[in-house]
Amino acid sequence: MHIDYLVKMANDIGQFFAVYPDTPETEQEIAGHLQRFWSPDMRATLQAHVAQGGAGLQPLVARAVLRLQRPAATAQDDPSPAVR
């Protein structure tokens, strides 16, 4: 999905939450919405966008994206030796 569309959708979610105080709890609510309703690919694309500066995202939304859970690493991705 094109990043401009994801930024617009994320900012729309942020606009909904704009009536709440700008607090860590509000950031967590936005992150929770993204976690529940966005696909892993959409979240990963938005997380990469924030890592590159997050152009176009509302500051509250950008902070919420930083709170998203990262996908769990698979055993293949884990460079640490296996525990036996």
Burial of 51 (0-12, 13-18, 19+ CB in 10 A): exposed
Q: What is the pLDDT of residues 24-44, one digit of tens each?
A: 999 999 999 999 999 999 999
**Would you state the pLDDT for residue 57?**
98
pTM: 0.80
**Would you state the pLDDT for residue 71?**
54
- pLDDT beneath 70: ranges in the chain: 70-84
Domain extent listing, the chain: 1-18+39-70
**Would you state the pLDDT for residue 77?**
46
